[in-house]
Amino acid sequence: MNKLVLGLPKGSLQEATFAMLRKAGFQVQVGSRSYKPDVDDPTIEARLIRAQEISHYVELGVLDAGITGYDWIVENGSRVHEVAELIYAKQGLRPVRWVLAVPEDSPIRSVKDLQGKRVATEAVGLTRRFLKQHGVRATVEFSWGATEAKAPELVDAIVELTETGSSLRANKLRIVETVLESTTRLIANRSVWKQAWKRAKIEQLGLLLQGALRAESKVLLKMNARAADVATLTKILPSLHAPTVNPLHTRDWVAIESVVDEAVVREIIPPLKKAGAEGIIELPLNKVIP
């Protein structure tokens, strides 16, 4: 049997990734001490690895494919094939940022002010390239953790990953500049990408994951209405292309359904009801494939 060896991120992205895989149709189970998750697809062998390392092992071919952050692909300088961008993170459907941050009362106002200073970060390569781009010479040291606590006593600035900025604010740090914006990526080994079966399997995974992500912010609205009210209702009702309208057994009545952004539902249900819609139902979605 053909097998695809897939790297899944251990750590902050783990639960969000498992949730996306479930919506995509893959059930993933892992024990507290296991690094080999069980996937209900016998053609996938999963490995649970730190996101920081996945692109390295995909490049080497130890993993056929993997899910990791764009930031770690850049940090490692990994030569891999990027299959799909998957915009989700630990706390929501948004990119994350590596930012240059300093204490609130620091005189540092721009990257240029780091000349001769000391910076702590987990993303050493990323930070050094950023400083070089701006013609700044500074000492960059690897941080093993608790990076926010190191300024100002140990270092002048930090480069840290943030999603909302709340942790930085809690530690009385001020963002100076964004070093890199990053999203989650599905990547593949370049040689593996040339193999027909494995490429098809990776493309299937990418399609389903992207479909699951599209569905995160959308719902299906269903309702009944008189045929005479359809034109008015469809003007109110947004859709991916056009609402679906089907005749009901009762004469002169139709069923209408449409995929809409969940954020607008609360605004459009009252006017839909006023325009003649009845039996309005809102349903969650697992996947939306355009």
> The domain spanning residue 115 has which CATH number?
3.40.190.10
Tell which of 182, 206, 232 closes a domain: 182
Per-residue pLDDT band at 190 (split at 50, 70, 90)? very high
Q: Summarize the confidence of residues 241-253 as an average pLDDT.
A: 89
> Is 109 among the domain residues?
yes
pLDDT, tens only, 141-174:
999 888 988 988 899 999 999 988 888 898 899 9
Rounded to whole angstroms, how far apart are CA atoms 70 and 182? 5
Contacts of residue 119, Cβ cutoff 8 Å, sequence gap at least 6 = 100, 127, 131, 138, 139, 140, 141, 155, 156, 157, 158, 159
How many distinct structural domains can be found in the chain?
3
The torsion angle over the Cα atoms of residues 51, 202, 210 and 17, rounded to 10 degrees, is: -30
The verdict on 145 and 20 lying in the same domain is no
The verdict on 109 and 162 lying in the same domain is yes
Rounded to whole angstroms, how far apart are CA atoms 110 and 256? 55
Q: Domain range for residue 84?
A: 4-92+183-215
Contacts of residue 85, Cβ cutoff 8 Å, sequence gap at least 6 = 70, 183, 184, 185
Which of 219, 213, 239 lies closest to 87 in space, CA to CA? 213
The verdict on 118 and 177 lying in the same domain is yes
Tell which of 161, 182, 203 closes a domain: 182
pLDDT, tens only, 57-111:
999 999 999 999 999 999 999 999 999 999 887 666 788 999 999 999 999 999 9
Whether 77 and 125 have beta carbons less than 8 Å apart is answered as: yes
> Is 290 among the domain residues?
no
Helix, coil or strand: residue 279:
strand
pLDDT, residue 91, reads 63
Cβ-based neighbour number of residue 121 at 10 Å: 26
Q: Which helix (H) or strand (E) holds 180?
A: strand 173-182
> Is 188 among the domain residues?
yes
Sequence letter at residue 131: L
Residue 119 CB-half CA count within 13 A? 29
Whether 287 and 23 have beta carbons less than 8 Å apart is answered as: yes
Whether 45 and 5 have beta carbons less than 8 Å apart is answered as: yes
Helix, coil or strand: residue 189:
coil
> Is 117 among the domain residues?
yes
> Is 54 among the domain residues?
yes
Tell which of 166, 182, 198 closes a domain: 182
pLDDT, tens only, 225-236:
999 999 999 999
Cβ-based neighbour number of residue 192 at 10 Å: 21
Q: What percent of the chain shows pLDDT beyond 90?
A: 80
Q: What percent of the chain shows pLDDT beyond 70?
A: 98
> Is 289 among the domain residues?
no
The verdict on 81 and 35 lying in the same domain is yes
pLDDT, tens only, 111-140:
999 999 999 999 999 999 999 999 999 999
> Is 15 among the domain residues?
yes
